[in-house]
Structure 1
């Protein structure tokens, strides 16, 4: 068991789920001018679901929390053409799957941390070529 690695993955999961749980206005504010592709968000959710299974096996995620994350993954998997709107900012306001995911993400945070209202992750700045 890699405690440091598991702790980092658990923190990443909590931050990403906090973003999924946030109100649409907060999500859009977090996005700002970034053009994040819906497909990238879906891939992140799928990855976090797979990672969480390993975390649960190692005791870093409780089984009930894993069920909540798996429900998010199933919701995305069941949605037809979830990536039909290329930019996530546009999908947030037009695709009902994100409205269905929001309460699942909130339930995960409520079960895990006792409150779904969590700080959003720091936005990543787009690569500009400057260092």
Structure 2
């Protein structure tokens, strides 16, 4: 990939991770009336973890940053098919794995940017979008 594409993917990773790091109430407020399918969100986040590995190889993230995303990826892998059913809006407050994911996302942002408190991304169209 070219530098522009890699830089865009790095920003995409940081924006999604900022959303994951936010508190549940902030995440729900960000979602608003949109209802996202948990399975689609998990697939998107698993893609984020795979892409970040390649970005690390090309120097866009440090190996220490990548370790936090790998841990986050392992949490995602633990979400079985039954827990991927339903809406992410509900899972954010009922499935304890999302609390673990918040912790790992915060650690990633802390080591990458020096502070996990980041602005939430602007709303973006997504194939995970409205259910």
TM-score of the pair, normalised by structure 1: 0.90
Q: Where in structure 1 are there 5+ consecutive unaligned residues?
A: 127-131
Counterparts of 2:83 and 2:51, CA distance in 1 = 21
How many correspondences in the alignment?
A: 125
CA distance in 1, matches of 2:38, 2:79: 13
Q: 1:36 matched to which residue of 2?
A: 36
Aligned to 2:2: 2
Which stretch shifts more, 35-44 or 116-125?
116-125
1:1-131 to 2 correspondences below 5 Å: 2-80=2-80, 81-84=82-85, 86-124=86-124
CA RMSD of aligned residues (A): 1.4
Q: Which residue of 2 aligns with 1:129?
A: none
Asked if the contact 1:107/1:116 (under 8 Å) is kept, the reply is yes
Larger radius of gyration: 1
C-alpha separation in 1, matches of 2:23 and 2:49: 21
Q: State the TM-score, normalized to the length of structure 2.
A: 0.90
Q: Tell me the alpha carbon deviations over residues 29-53 of structure 1, each in whole angstroms, 9 at most, x when there is no partner.
A: 0000001111111011100011011
**Separation of aligned partners in 1, 2:125 and 2:55:** 28
The Cα of 1:124 is off from its aligned counterpart by 2.9
TM superposition outliers: structure 1 runs of 4+ over 3 Å: 79-82
Check the 8 A contact 1:76/1:82 in 2, yes or no: no
